[in-house]
Structure 1
Amino acid sequence: MKLKTIINYLFIAVLAMQLVSCDNKETLDSPFNATPTERLNAQQKELNDMLESSEFGWKAVYYTDTTQLGGFTHVFKFKDGKVDMASDFDDDTAVYSSEYSIDLGSTVSLVFTTKNRIHLLSDSNNYPVAALRGKGYKGDFQFLYYGQENGQIIFKTNRSFEELRFVKATASDWTDLAKNRLMIANVVGATTRPLFRLLETNDGTKTSQFDFNFTAETRYAVANSIETGSSMSYNMGIAYTPTGILVSPAVKVGNQQLAAFTYDAATGNFIATGTAGVTATIKYSNKPLVLTDDYKVLLAGNPRTIYAYIAAFLATAPSNSLLCNSLLNTINASLPSTQKVNRVSFYFNDGANGSYISYSFTGGKSTLYHFVTVTEDPVNKTIILKDDGWLGGSEPTLLKDLDKQLLDPKGLYVKKESFKIAYSNTIYTLTTASNNFRITTYGL
């Protein structure tokens, strides 16, 4: 055999040996060489080490269901199976200790094993509104570990598989929970502010407006476009911060996502600012964004119509204003304990009786009747109720302040609402044109 041929064979043999050696090294070093149990054990240690590594613990803004509920801020400090925890769920922002575990299953999960603040969101008997009876706040206390990203711990909830991120907390995050609670009053709106609110977006070239309605019990807001023919809406869960609110999903304006709104105490506005002139602002309006003709069916010459506030079902309606609730509570407080306002009913075009407001009570107290005449303000689209005498002759002092709102000289805005409360009856709201009074009624 020629020398050149022998050298070629030797070169091929050496190359083959090197390839086999590299393959064996990669096999030995490959993470896939570990068993599933070994990999899970490694993840378990990784997660525990990460949880215990942050000096001030971790913060999570937990949106349990962004189709109907807002966000709740929690802070955690983990050590040796114990966790210190606080939240802004309610006014109790104190720190409580409990236990946690990092469990192995099909994946690694963080489980809060003994009761603490986060369990307030998973208790099915603890619900904010009747529609969530038996569901609570739809929260979880077991979170599946999905790794780390930019110093954040990524989880998915065990029940609904929603993403939840833990970010490193600061010392102030623990004390800021009380400041979060103070922001609620600004989101709800003071009685001195107008009742009507809107979300206004500006994409740098065009301004759009959306009717804005917030429900404090669920921390949820709905904003529908007021533009004719537009079905665009923003439905968002709201979480409180010391300086404003966070919303989820974010408000998309142009190609930008705006989630952080800052509160302006002077105007009561919440403002989110993007780049290139892009903004989103939650602001007040002195009248409805869209004036409707819903009041016209109540004018003379139309069929008999009855609207009724029924306390048993509408006392907690989020569409009642704070002033309305306050006046009703004042009346109830002045009555014997067995007597309360039962109904405030509005009768229009009731034959020979004309139109009137009836106030009925529990506990055997007689119903009181206030007859009214009905006119309209066609420009401002309000219905104006004027005094036409009380049955029995004199105005009851008990009802003076409430009745004064209903007979506002500037009239009442009447709106046929799209939402329902407890029953299928259509909801109508009556709102004073010159004050922060709104009462919710059923169409009967």
Structure 2
Amino acid sequence: MKYLKKINWQILALLFIVVLYSCEDNSDPELLFEDVPAVRFEKKLKKVSDFLIAPEAGWKMTYFTDETALGGFTFLFDFINESEVRMDSDFGNADPTKTSLYGLSLGATLKLTFTTKNVIHELSDGANFPDAAFVGQGYKGDFEFLFSSIEGEDIIFRSNRNPSNYIKFVRASKDEWNNLSTQNRAMLKNIKNDPSKSVFRSLTIENKGNVASYSFNYNNARRFSTSIKLDENGEVLDVNFGIAPTATGFKVSPAITVGNIEVENFIYDEINNEFVAEEQGAKVTISYVGTPAIPLTGKDILPNFLILHNPFLNSLASDWTPDLTNVGFSNLITNLNASIFFDVTRIDLYDLDKDSGRIFIGTSIGNAFYNISKEVKNGKIYLTIVSTTTPQFFTDAIKPLLDVIVDSNGLYVDQPTTLNGSSNRIFSFVPASNTTIRYSAVQL
């Protein structure tokens, strides 16, 4: 019994020593055990903070806020110290000399917050939006970013507003600070539709001898492109992507998939005024062309009543998707009204889906109707005035307008979109004699 008691006391003594050892302070960083969470966080914060401050020329971020509807925006950040930052951008009202505040903090994870106002806040401002479809949403941007990882010399964040959107910070160069706002903004002018050229642009994909051409449409306010074509069964195929300008061209997101190849970087060919991307034998070209990728095959798709869109012609102007009625047609109306003693105020097209129809011209001195016949051939619609009761002086006065509406060489017709917030279809008409002019009309 004494022997057993002796063993029990030895066991108790050993347990007591273990308990004492386990109760010792473990905050010493030299211990073999892991740091407590607070210490680990402080180390992580300092590592990320030092990493952000370290580069002499700071960081570059190309930020696609919503690749399903909007393009990309490039920012430069120079983290001066642990609380101050300056930035530049190819978007908004950037001032690279302005200093604002930022901070790193712990939420669900380590978070980078640009705390005082600078150009990046213009992306998230709900009152700053590209068009009526984004009222209250702005450009869907963010000024809070969740730390994800450090990969080599890059640092990866996620948008706090959309955590599935990963954004990479890469090392910037001094040249980018000197040229970003000028070169990228200049490239935007090459990307947007040139009013002196054809309104038709194509996106052509070439791979292993196969060629597919899409009708390329670009929304400059959104920095977003929609391209469509018809397959052999008449089904619509589309290629949509956001565009971020660069000094030499632009980058797209999502990437264009050609077979098993992803293409995303386009270079501007100034001589041919086109953008070209090549990757592993696949080639994608965006260029101006003389005819639409999808020709008109019949008048059945046309509606029975259309009202032409133009700021001079109706009050729908602010509701329209930009760039449908182009500056060529707007200038035509402006110059016409300046040259005659009355103003053209409205234009309607009736019964385009039937064999015969009418054109209505509303003016400040009265209205006029022109009866027309219609024929679809060679991918165009031909409108011909067959009769009118309108005085000849009136017809002579508006002849420049009628020559465009009923171009003797036919009209190319496109249905690129719908009126914002409704199902009303919008049709665009381009006279074959002058493809720099486009007028659009909404179905009512």
Which bracket does the TM-score occupy, shorter chain normalised?
A: 0.7 to 0.9
Secondary structure, counterpart of 1:312 in structure 2: coil
Asked if 1:155 corresponds to 2:160, the answer is no
Question: 1:389 Cα shift?
Answer: 5.4
1:282 to partner: Cα distance: 1.2
Q: Offset at 1:147? A: 1.8
2:361 to 358, 363, 366: 358
Aligned length: 405
After TM superposition, the structure 1 = structure 2 runs for residues 197-346 of structure 1, keeping only pairs within 5 Å, are: 197-229=201-233, 232-275=237-280, 277-295=281-299, 305-310=304-309, 311-314=314-317, 316-318=320-322, 319-328=324-333, 343-346=346-349
Q: CA-to-partner distance for each residue in 1:183-237, whole Å, 9 max, x for gaps?
A: 1222112123221122111222322222221111100011223322355432100
Compare 396-405 and 158-167 and name the one that shifted more.
396-405
Paired AA for residue 181 in structure 2:
L
Distance 1:249 1:368, change over 3 A: same
TM norm structure 2: 0.82
1:369 paired residue number: 368
CA separation in 2, counterparts of 1:204 and 1:183?
30
In the alignment, what sits opposite 1:404?
A: 403
Distance of aligned partners of 1:329 and 1:123 in 2 relative to their CA distance in 1, 3 Å threshold? farther
Alpha-carbon distance between aligned partners in 2 of 1:156 and 1:216, rounded to the nearest angstrom: 26
Residue by residue, what CA displacement relative to the aligned partner does 1:374-423 show, whole Å, maximum 9, x if unpaired? 34352343223448557343237885544432132212123344534343
Provide the C-alpha distance between the structure 2 equivalents of 1:185 and 1:389, rounded to a whole number of angstroms.
44
Q: In the superposition, relative to structure 1, how do residues 349 and 269 fare at CA in structure 2: closer, same or farther (>3 Å)?
A: closer
Aligned to 1:170: 173
Letter of the 1:345 partner, please give it.
D
- Whether the 8 Å CA contact 2:77–2:85 is kept in 1: the answer is yes
Cα separation, partners in 2 of 1:203 and 1:132, compared to 1, 3 Å? same
Give, in angstroms, the shift of residue 294 of structure 1: 4.4
1:399 and 1:88 map into 2 onto residues whose CA distance is 43
After the TM superposition, which residues 361-440 of structure 1 pair with which residues of structure 2 at under 5 Å, given as runs?
365-369=364-368, 371-376=370-375, 378-386=377-385, 388=387, 391-395=390-394, 399=398, 401-417=400-416, 419-435=418-434, 436-440=436-440
Tell me by how many angstroms 1:155 deviates.
Answer: 0.3
Aligned pair partner of 1:126 in 116, 128, 139? 128
Partner Cα distance (1:130, 1:327) in 2: 26
2:46 is aligned to 45
In structure 1, give the amino acid aligned to 2:215: D
The residue identity in structure 2 corresponding to 1:283 is S
Specify every segment of 5 or more residues in structure 2 that has no aligned partner in the other structure, as ranges.
1-27
Alignment correspondent of 1:3? none
The answer as to whether partners of 1:346 and 1:358 remain within 8 angstroms in 2 is no
Question: Residues 28 and 196 from structure 1, CA distance in 2 versus in 1: closer, same or farther, beyond 3 angstroms?
Answer: same
Deviation at 1:41, TM superposition (A): 1.3
Residues of 1 paired with 2:223 and 2:93: CA distance? 15
Q: Deviations over 1:314-354 (max 9, x none)?
A: 45433222312333455678899xx9865321134899x96
Q: Which letter does structure 2 place at the counterpart of 1:225?
A: K
What is the identity, as a one-letter code, of the residue corresponding to 2:439? Answer: I
Which ranges in structure 1 are unaligned for 5 or more consecutive residues?
Answer: 1-26, 299-303
Give aligned-pair identity as a percent.
31
Among 178, 198, 211, which residue is 1:194 paired with? 198
Worse-matched range after superposition: 248-257 or 385-394: 385-394
Aligned counterparts of 1:290 and 1:31: Cα–Cα separation in 2? 70
> Is the deviation greater in 78-87 or in 387-396?
387-396
- Pairwise CA RMSD: 3.1
